[in-house]
A and B are shown apart, each in its own frame.
Chain A
Amino acid sequence: METVWFCLVAIMIAAYVVLDGFDLGAGAIHFLVAKTDAERHLVVRSIGPVWDGNEVWLLAAGGTLYFAFPALYASGFSGFYLPLMIVLWLLILRGVSIEFREKVNSPVWIKFWDVVFAAASLLLAVFYGAALGNVVRGVPLNDKGYFFEALWTNFRLGTETGILDWYTILVGLAALSTLSLHGALWLALKTDGPVHDRSQTLARAAWWILLVFTILVTVVTFLVQPQVPSSLSAHPAGFVFPLLAVAGLAAMGWFMLRKDDLKGFLASCLYIVGMLTSVVFGLYPLVLPASTNPAYSLTVHNAKAGEYGLRVGLVWWIVGMALASAYFTYVYRHFAGKVKLEDGASGY
């Protein structure tokens, strides 16, 4: 039962990264693809009706993690106290900037929120990557299953690790390039005119950067967390996940050359899912490896909640997710198609 929940939480986190990922990516490249207020209005409009729903995946994934693996939730959230709080502040700033940008027609007001939007989105992408890097690298868990990490120590891997070290920063930059590309493909899909053209150009350049990061991060991760390659070689069926990522990356390049925006974006979704599932599969059954003593590591078995709760949760989870998928399909179909400037009049 705990393995089922491990997969479900992983699916929800992947859904969050795929969906909110393009919001963050669009934000990170906000000033690169949109040069005028009107163009930047278009970027914000393209995510305006959906960012809030996308962010709900984070809350839903967090809640699910909470009841399925309470010990992991408690240990991880308190140990990553500082970066999580910074992420919360950035999420507040990102959300507020999208909602408030259009409320006052003044160049000073609009420019202010544009900068906040871009900076918060960019930093969120880096922090999410660094968080993933921390989980993969392992944290200094004690015998009670708790830890606390400073934001940084000496940027080296060792026992006194901080949230930021060379490895987690590398993963953070890889996440930034992944999501920037993802966001560029989203904007290419959702916009016309100069924003569309610049997004396409940017995506093509970002693809090469992502290729370099993918190879680099994969190699380094195998060295930093030997559990990942050993899991993969023990269960060769798991190679399907890295293959998904490679297929996604290749398809992205192919469809970008053919200027097929929709398929390029979907390929990017596939790449993200492939990368995340590879990591998750490589770590299983660990959910939070201990860098101190392997016996202190949190696994799906020692972090799970009571059996009854997990069983009853599965029933309502399936019902709830079926409903949620129905709403999402409806909303994305409702707001399908390119965002037009004139649409701006109907909403606000």
Chain B
Amino acid sequence: MPDALIVHRLHFAFTVTFHYLFPQLTMGLALLIVILKSLALRTGEEHYNRAARFWMKIFGINFALGVVTGIPMEFQFGTNWAQFSKAAGGVIGQTLAMEGIFSFFLESSFLGMFLFGEKRLGPKGHWFAAFMVFVGSWLSGYLIVATDAWMQRPVAYTLGPNGEIMLTSFWGLLLNHWALWQYAHNMSGAVITGSFVLSALGAFYLLVGKHQRYGQTFVRVGVITGVVATLFQLFPSGDGQGRLLARHQPVTLAAMEGLFYTQKGAPIALIGQPDVENQRLDNPLLIPRTLSFLTYRRWMSEVKGLDAFPPSDWPDNIPLVYYSYHVMVGLGTIFIVIMVVCAWKLWKGTLYASRGMLWVLMLSLPFPYIANTAGWVTAEVGRQPWVIYGLMRTGAGVSSQVSSGNAWFTLLGFMGMYTVLGILFLFLVYRVVEEGPEPPPVFVPQKAT
């Protein structure tokens, strides 16, 4: 059976990682489109409406892929994690069902209006449709984060006679502290993706000398949003998330930092490779005492290392937790530097002519995706070996009657299908980018064959 367990974990990991490439841009871009539509309303300039319409096209393609890859996620709780679902469905089913009922109905209804109804709705109505799409997607983000937060820090439950987990407080589940911090951190991560995508494309237009005015708008809106979001990502949201982790999952924190032994005045490792077999960090580059300070706000406080916990409670893939965490934090720091420099140049009025910085912005495009993915890997692999932290081991949650052969069959199927979807996505977005914000009149099919 452990063989099948690995396939089921890979199955979920692969499908959710691919899926989340799309919603992070949906949520980030939803906010940015509302900003563009607001600029259009305030200034009355058609330029901002055209800019919004351009991003709407990319949003539409991105949203469609988010929808079609999202449906398998809800189903996989039941198909691949039946024992977990049977035990915990009474709790996390609440937030998942609420996502469908409160946000997807809202989102899908207003998306239709938003994409197809600009003429009939008028400027204010269309702004409102964009705003409701934004509300729907951000609400959906909260309900999913609340679901995951409950798995990270189960609250508001009691155990029934047959081991089923029963909800005891609706608001306890919804206002789980973990959910609030994780949501703040996750959503600013999505805004970072959105603002980098916006400014990268703007930088591309400026560098190739096409659609200059749009390029400037995209860079300006992207950089201003980006500088706020990247700073917020570090403090308070990242900091708050980290301290929550120290309190509730100290063993995960130790794995993330590669801290094998409990220490007073624990350092932070900038780089280094964790050697789990020999329980040490190879080639480390350390900043002394920083981890103690960041965690407990005192330079000499004691931080528990992995040795303080039984190995059976250690995350089962410590190097992956360590690296994904370091990739996330490292990239996050670089994002702050890029966005602060760009914002400073923008303020001085030299950014649009500064080809070096435009190159940097353009080439940054993939990295927010990597950072967001790495953050989620840190959270989910860091939670192991638990599917519900402290309550249910991952191995006890799997669908025991689905064999590894069947799981491989569908995993390979998803891999094939998602490869095709990924290629189609890039192809279609490339066409939109190539066409630009001022496209020729739209194709209308002719009646004759």
Contacts and interface: CB of A to CB of B under 8 A. Distances in A.
Decide whether A and B are members of one complex: yes
Interface of A: 35-38, 41, 48-50, 52-53, 55-56, 58-60, 62-64, 66-71, 73-82, 84-85, 88-89, 91-92, 95-96, 99-100, 103-105, 145-148, 305-309, 312-313, 316-317, 320-321, 323-324, 327-328, 330-331, 334-335, 341-342, 344-348
A91 B68 contact: yes
B78 A78 contact: yes
Contacts of B100: 56, 59-60, 62-64
Given A78-B78, A88-B71, A328-B105, 11 more contacts: A37-B445, A49-B116, A52-B111, A60-B105, A81-B399, A81-B402, A92-B69, A92-B71, A99-B64, A316-B98, A324-B101
B264 interface: no
B401 interface: yes
B285 interface: no
A214 to B, nearest CB: 30
5 contacts: A73-B78, A324-B105, A330-B109, A341-B444, A342-B444
Contact of A334 (B64, B120, B406, B447): B120
A66 B93 contact: yes
Contacts, number: 250
A78 B167 contact: no
B186 to A, nearest CB: 20
B23 to A, nearest CB: 14
B75 A88 contact: yes
Nearest to A36: B449
Nearest to A321: B101
B400 A146 contact: yes
B67 interface: yes
A52 to B, nearest CB: 5
A74 B97 contact: no
Contacts of A35: 449
A80 B399 CA distance: 12
B170 A328 contact: no
B160 A96 contact: no
Nearest to A303: B86
Contacts of A330: 109
B97 A66 contact: yes
B417 A92 contact: yes
Interface residues of B, number: 79
A326 to B, nearest CB: 9
Contacts of A345: 441-442, 444
Given A323-B102, A331-B112, A62 B74 contact: yes
B105 A81 contact: no
B313 interface: no
Interface in B48-77: 60-61, 64-65, 67-69, 71-72, 74-75, 77
B75 A84 contact: yes
A321 to B, nearest CB: 7
B212 to A, nearest CB: 26
B78 A74 contact: yes
Interface in B81-108: 82-83, 85-94, 96-102, 104-106, 108
Nearest to B102: A320
Interface string B396-419: 000111110010011001000100
B424 interface: yes
B449 to A, nearest CB: 5
B79 A313 contact: no
Contacts of B316: none
A328 B108 CA distance: 10
Contacts of B104: 56, 59-60
B428 interface: yes
B298 interface: no
A67 B94 contact: yes
Contacts of B110: 327
Contacts of A48: 116
Contacts of B68: 91-92, 95-96
B164 interface: yes
A37 B449 contact: yes
Contact of A70 (B79, B93, B108, B400): B93
A96 B82 CA distance: 29
B75 A62 contact: yes
B421 interface: yes
A66 B402 contact: no
Interface string B169-184: 0100000000000000
A53 to B, nearest CB: 4
B109 A328 contact: yes
B71 A59 contact: yes
A56 B71 CA distance: 9
Interface in B416-431: 417, 421, 424, 428, 431
B36 interface: no
A313 B97 contact: yes
Contacts of B101: 60, 63-64, 316-317, 320-321, 324
Contacts of B312: none
A330 B117 CA distance: 12
